[in-house]
Amino acid sequence: MLRPVRLVDRFNEIERELPANWAEATLVLAVSNEAQSDRAAALLGPTNPGRHGKVIRFATGRRGAAVEPDRVRNLLRRLDEAGIDGDLKLMGSEIPEQAAAAVPKSLARAWDETVAELPPDWSDLYGEVELFSTDYIEPGALALSPLNPLREGPEPQFRFRAARRFGYGASPEMVRRCLERLDEREIRGELHILRVLDDTEPAYTQGPVWYAGGKVS
């Protein structure tokens, strides 16, 4: 006899099938045992679910008022631990209006555009790659490893240093190649330049020292 698929595993499958720029998704859980419906709805309480008999409807979202995916994952894990079985399905998803017709920008292309706008004598740069999903953290860290990426807090983002001529930080070419590796793996995100210096001439040091969150970067 086959064991039912865990609800948290089914949720992970649904999330992987969503568009890269999804904003909110509505899900329906049909509980196998009607006697467990009250318990299931109570455990999903933080999502403010709607219920009709054995069918429970709730939503998750990356932005706005909807409960974020990681929180939903934890709630479904509690249902699994309580032995509650059911059929979890995607009812529908939404993407931001401005992004509905847009193709996610290549991070490598974003780097090219950014560098083109910098002063021609820029020397040092402190940047950040903000990923669109926490699922991207581990593969993203691997792809960006040559940049010695740094994570600050729980958000799915990595910070890095670049140096055009010498000193601390990866070369512009290496930064582009690492961002290209993210594109190849379909890891989506946004590139932000936090700080940039031009025409520096370090004395007795390999480059500038920046402080972020009270720490040396």
Domain count within the chain: 2
Whether residue 95 lies inside any domain: the answer is yes
Taking phi first (over 0 means left), then psi (-120 to 50 degrees means alpha), and beta for anything else, what does residue 93 get? beta
**What are the Cα distances from residue 206, in Å, to 177, 196, 201?**
23, 16, 9
User: Would you list the DSSP string of 64-106?
Assistant: TTSBPHHHHHHHHHHHHHTT--EEEEEEEEE--GGGTTPPPPP
Q: Do residue 125 and residue 146 come from a single domain?
A: yes
Distance of CA 91 to the CA centre of its chain: 22
**What are the Cα distances from residue 77, in Å, to 44, 49, 73, 84?**
11, 16, 6, 10
Please give the Cα distance from 73 to 108 (Å, whole number).
Answer: 32
Q: What is the pLDDT along the chain (217 residues), one digit of tens a residue?
A: 445 689 999 999 999 988 887 888 999 999 988 889 999 999 999 999 998 889 999 999 987 778 999 999 999 999 999 999 999 999 888 776 544 444 567 899 999 988 888 888 788 888 999 998 888 899 999 999 999 998 877 788 999 999 887 767 889 999 999 999 999 998 889 999 888 876 555 544 555 555 555 555 5
- How many CA atoms are closer than 13 Å to the CA of 135, on its beta-carbon side? 18
Which residues face 57 on adjacent strands?
28, 50
Q: Do residue 129 and residue 56 come from a single domain?
A: no
Residue 172 pLDDT? 92
Please give the Cα distance from 192 to 212 (Å, whole number).
Answer: 15
Please give the Cα distance from 85 to 87 (Å, whole number).
Answer: 7
Residue 101 pLDDT? 45
Residue 94 belongs to domain spanning: 7-99
Q: Do residue 83 and residue 126 come from a single domain?
A: no
Whether residue 35 lies inside any domain: the answer is yes
Residue 204 pLDDT? 47
